[in-house]
Structure 1
Amino acid sequence: MIDLLIVGAGPAGLGAAISAAEYGLKVYVIDEFVKSGGRLLGQLHEEPDGKWVNGIAEAQKLYERAIGLGVKIQCGVSVYDLIKLDNGWCVYTTDKAIESKCLLLATGASEIPIPIPGWTLPGVMSVGAAQVMGNVHRVKPGEKGIIIGVNVLSVSIARELQLCGVHIEGILLPKQSLLSGDAADPEKMMESLLRLSHLAPSPLIRFGGKWVSPKLGARLYPKNGFKMWDIPIQLRKTALEILGENQVKGVRIADITATGEVVPGTEKVVSADFVCIAGGLTPMSELAAVAGCTFCYVPELGGHVPMHNESMQTNVDGLYVAGNITGVESAKVAKAQGTVAGLAVARELKALVDRADEKIEEAIAGVKETRRKALIQFQPGIEEARRKLHREFYENSDGKTEIGVL
């Protein structure tokens, strides 16, 4: 039986593997993708200081560090079941069953689809799929694209697609419906957009992001939108239908009011050979549910998340979580959480004894500092939401060790 099995070879999983292996634990990491790195693999962006971040290179560094510490990493396998044993866990994969003393779920997040007419046509994909095609496989998703959904994810990936040589005709909202929800609300999406204003190349947009309220911003937003990196971001236009027969040919769009109603007589067709749908991200927590975790619905974290504390412990013995399964944040935050989880497992298995609590407290402080410095915040109020979640964990726990509660 191994010491720690980690499901997910992204920044959280690799970060945990490294910190646990540094204390001599026998660690095994599995991932359904053919290559380790998770969300890092699709990332390519410029930091405010002008430094370029190549996610593939960052993932390779983590992989090499983990392998150097004796961590076993197996990709291309999926988990379909897991059960709690008296002395650990048994995880059933498409390759074999693996028994482990402790289990860490670092399964990340999945994209939220927004169904609109024509969304099953060839050439329609999630914005994350387009990111992987361009940055991982070096294949353009098309030459001219439209992104439906204005949020932190769509704007940042639009820039990455542009760097791949793809022309983005515009980023606009989906039509209002029961399924599109807040994604079709100009005011709600204006709030999301303002959290990206510090990245804009235009001084006007950066200034407006500091002082304009979402409600006022949606009302004053120009009909043809603003441009970031020469990409039109259009909060006053909506996608009514994706057009084509055997392949995407274009999108039928229309102007909308500040509250999202379609303006009659403004419909037109914009040509495109691919369309990305960007509905945001939500924690991928199915395995945590199978394991018997208690869940809490936290909108600021992206939806339902498994109950856990600052040490990334869940309410199920020997089960830990880290990364976007705990709430949607940046890859850097995910890696920092993984470090905490790896240390916590090492403490539980008595591999980390000297200054154990102090080292974990320092790692928890590192997560908070990483979050504070994050280039992108996917939702407002993340820190306060996490404090409430942690307090609720302890109020409903059976005496687990309390560390770092504010």
Structure 2
Amino acid sequence: MQIYDVVIIGAGPAGLAAAIQCRENNLDVVVLDEFPRAGGRLLGQLHQEPNGQWWNGIEESKALLERAESLETDIQLGVSVHHIEKLDDQFVIHTKKKYFHTRNVLIATGAAESPAPIPGWTLPGVMSIGAAQVMTNVHRVKVGEKGIIVGVNVLSAAIARELQLAGIELHSMALPTRNVVVDEQSDPRLVMDRLSRIAHLAPSKFIQLGSKFAKYKFVQSLALKYYPTNGIKMWGMPIYLNKAIKQINGTDKVESVTMVDVTINGDIVENSEKEIPVDFVCIAGGLYPLAELAAVVGCPFIYSEELGGHIPIHNETMETPVKGIYVAGNITGIESSKVAREQGKVAGLAIAHKELNSIDIEEKLQAAVRNVVATRDAASIQFHPGISEGRKKVSTAFQETMKTQKELELVR
């Protein structure tokens, strides 16, 4: 029976970066991913950075994959993992293909979308914004002729531009009407506050300048009160904070949406319904960490709104309180692919250091930890406000958990 040094679950930027570090230190590694192509969410990404350079996710994933393959990394795609079993001295990874035995596990499963429910959202032609991104950028399938995006956030703003670059017409981007599931996403005040953090990426210098003042609450309230009826345009597409989508209409497929005016508190203005003809709708409800596998193996969690949901507790070297279990990428909090890649390097070096106990690896590990912080600080896009505060909470939770574990061991 083969026992691997490490099994890496997820072939995205975090998983591939970790595999490279492990293989450079001659560890026996296998990378598993349920998708037929390696790269994870990198495969769908294409955007322009503030410095004018383009971030091409397909090229970035290609570079990581080529390096991993040059090191003869065992990468098995189309393999779904459904359970991690903890034994005394190893873990057993249960997949649809076979069992994998290993001393260490890196869970780099990324994130999943949480689309907002809207009446009519089960019609053909309605999809999550991430699905539209993958269909367009990965599979080269045109999702429709003219559509609308429901949900105004960092993710929808970035992908909207990608759809436009593919020649797809977008009518606008608007809020969902309020319900118990999308209360925050339908609140113009909260959406304005979050948008102010990415306004520096807008093509309009006027919007960029305004973002410097938009951090003040009274300025946000004033801006919402006098928000243009026709929206504020980015790349020629109106972004509405004073209009919302009430319903998606159609018989056998999407034919139109019902748009309504809303107040600065998100309340529907009576008799303001207007039907907008479209043939597809993208729903953008945000991302949350895909952390089920960490839960089944016994990792403790902490809820962090700043990081996007329930996060497996871990330290700065990506190790959880369950010895031998590591996490990296969006499972640790919703951030950019660049941060995920750097976290993967940290996790790979941490596993190599544990297995080899090398001073040279330890020095590289500490440098990699510092690089994660530097990459985070330099990020042009932050999916949630207060990421640094969220990271501090997770670090504190790890220290407290380890202290409790030691106290319990002493009692025994």
Same fold flag (TM > 0.5): yes
| 1:289-310 Cα shifts (integer Å, max 9, x gaps) | 0010100000000010000000
SS of the residue aligned with 2:184?
helix
Question: Are 1:29 and 2:28 matched, yes or no?
Answer: no
Output the CA distance in 1 between the equivalents of 2:72 and 2:288: 32
Q: 1:8 to 1:233 in 2, by over 3 A?
A: same
Number of the residue aligned with 2:176: 174
Output the CA distance in 2 between the equivalents of 1:319 and 1:376: 29
What is the one-letter code of the residue matched to 1:390?
S
Question: Are 1:383 and 2:388 matched, yes or no?
Answer: yes
188-197 or 309-318: bigger deviation = 188-197
SS of the residue aligned with 1:248?
coil
| 1:89-116 Cα shifts (integer Å, max 9, x gaps) | 1001111111111000000000012111
Is the 2:302–2:397 contact (alpha carbons within 8 Å) kept by the matching residues of 1?
Answer: no
Number of the residue aligned with 1:361: 366
Output the CA distance in 2 between the equivalents of 1:95 and 1:321: 23
Number of the residue aligned with 1:303: 309
Question: Are 1:54 and 2:56 matched, yes or no?
Answer: yes
Output the CA distance in 2 between the equivalents of 1:24 and 1:399: 35
Question: Are 1:326 and 2:344 matched, yes or no?
Answer: no
Unaligned stretches of 5+ in structure 1? 402-406
Shift of 1:400: 9.8
Output the CA distance in 2 between the equivalents of 1:88 and 1:216: 59
**Identity %, equivalent residues:** 53
Is the 2:306–2:389 contact (alpha carbons within 8 Å) kept by the matching residues of 1?
Answer: no
Which of 375, 394, 399 is equivalent to 1:394? 399
| 1:42-64 Cα shifts (integer Å, max 9, x gaps) | 00111122222211111011001
| 1:326-364 Cα shifts (integer Å, max 9, x gaps) | 0000000000000000000001112x5023433222111
| 1:245-280 Cα shifts (integer Å, max 9, x gaps) | 101001001000011011112110001110000000
What is the one-letter code of the residue matched to 1:395?
E
Is the 2:259–2:274 contact (alpha carbons within 8 Å) kept by the matching residues of 1?
Answer: yes
Is the 2:84–2:91 contact (alpha carbons within 8 Å) kept by the matching residues of 1?
Answer: yes
| 1:194-235 Cα shifts (integer Å, max 9, x gaps) | 122111111111011111234443333223210111111101
- The CA RMSD over aligned residues, in Å, is 1.4
Normalized against structure 1, the TM-score is what? 0.96
Question: Are 1:242 and 2:248 matched, yes or no?
Answer: yes
Output the CA distance in 1 between the equivalents of 2:73 and 2:221: 50
Number of the residue aligned with 1:404: none
Which of 312, 326, 348 is equivalent to 1:342? 348
Which of 274, 282, 296 is equivalent to 1:268? 274
What is the one-letter code of the residue matched to 2:307?
L
Shift of 1:398: 4.5
Number of the residue aligned with 2:410: none
